[in-house]
């Protein structure tokens, strides 16, 4: 029987993406090679990744009335956008520079994302099925209160606490079932919570997964440590790689795949994502990931 709908309480941004030879320096005016306006935000990207991984996903969030095309964009990716509110504040947006090494730097404006309140969230969660997964990122307000609310409703909670800041450090990780962080975030969290010992991250919650870019990913779960290497590809743009990994790892765990297989699937998806420009537009489908894994196994 198919598992419950995955609910993503997450950010929605408009990404303004500029291709540049290098990141602009203070006081410098730098012509860009190209410009794209695309759907972004960690929340929206991760909802698209979940949908392309084959999940039924409902997104809860807020946008302004300046970018209502976002609703149609999410729907076209098979994301349930019926719980997205239209607020009085401008839609969140990001200014993204992508350089010739496929690295990125991002300037973020939260905008309408921070208009979501607990009363609205409670209304949107009416009829929530106990035992279902709820996903959070750290681009939303009142994160601890929201996590506590869904946990009391019987949710399994997945958290990607990015961007990592003081609010991320203050999360009650006892309420979290799945934690996904990158290597820098893991080190900061370990310093804050685990005396600097990364392996002790397993004490925070049942499953902790650390993504390490070209070094692959590592999972701490109880006494088990699982490592998978990164797939070698020609990177074009790394902007959405982490969000792709989050969507695919949660999908795989929700499908009860063994953790190592789940990590390999998510790593393959993020590898494919960096071979294309953009964030949500570069996220591969489940069939593409399966085909990629089959090709890799034949080598």
Check residue 170 and report its DSSP letter: T
Is 298 catalytic? The answer is no
b/e map 156-189, b = 16+ CB within 10 Å: bbbbbbbebeeebeebebebbbbbbbbeebbebb
Cβ within 8 Å of residue 51, ≥6 positions away? 57, 77, 78, 79
Q: The tokens 């970018």 sit on which residue?
A: 67
Rounded CA-CA distance 73/51 in Å is 13
Beta-bridge mates of residue 135: 8, 158
The set of residues, in sequence order, having a beta carbon less than 8 Å from that of 166 and lying 6+ positions away, is none
Please identify which of the residues 165, 243, 287, 298 carries the catalytic annotation: 243
| Secondary structure tally for the chain: helices H, strands E | 9, 13
229-267 burial by CB neighbour count: b if 16+ within 10 A, else e? ebbeeebbbbbbbbbbbbbbbbbbbbeebebeebbbbbb
Prior bond of 163 cis (ω within 30°): yes
Distance CA 275, CA 52 (A): 17
Residues belonging to the active site: 243
């Amino acid at each position: 029987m198919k598992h419950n709908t995955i609910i993503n309480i997450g950010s929605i941004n408009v990404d303004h993406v500029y291709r540049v030879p290098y990141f602009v320096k203070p006081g410098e005016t730098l012509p860009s090679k190209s410009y794209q306006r695309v759907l972004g935000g960690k929340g929206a990207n991760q909802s698209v990744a979940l949908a392309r991984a084959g999940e039924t996903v409902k997104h809860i969030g807020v946008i302004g009335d300046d970018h209502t095309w976002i609703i149609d964009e999410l729907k076209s990716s098979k994301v349930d956008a019926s719980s997205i509110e239209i607020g009085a504040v401008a839609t969140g947006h990001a200014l993204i520079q992508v350089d010739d090494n496929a690295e990125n730097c991002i300037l973020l404006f939260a905008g309408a994302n921070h208009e979501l309140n607990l009363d609205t969230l409670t209304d949107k969660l009416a009829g929530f099925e106990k035992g279902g997964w709820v996903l959070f990122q750290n681009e939303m307000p009142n994160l601890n209160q929201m996590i506590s609310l869904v946990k009391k409703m019987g949710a399994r909670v997945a958290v990607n606490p990015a961007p990592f800041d003081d609010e991320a450090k203050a999360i009650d990780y006892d309420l979290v079932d799945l934690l996904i962080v990158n290597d820098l975030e893991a080190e900061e969290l370990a310093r804050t919570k685990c005396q600097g010992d990364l392996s002790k991250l397993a004490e925070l919650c049942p499953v902790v997964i650390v993504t390490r870019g070209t070094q692959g990913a590592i999972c701490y779960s109880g006494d088990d440590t699982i490592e998978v290497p990164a797939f070698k590809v020609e990177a074009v743009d790394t902007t959405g790689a982490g969000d792709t990994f989050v969507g695919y790892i949660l999908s795989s765990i929700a499908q009860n795949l063994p953790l190592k297989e789940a990590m390999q699937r998510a790593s393959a998806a993020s590898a494919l994502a960096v071979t294309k420009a953009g964030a949500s537009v570069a996220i591969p489908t489940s069939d593409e990931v399966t085909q990629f894994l089959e090709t890799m196994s034949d080598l």
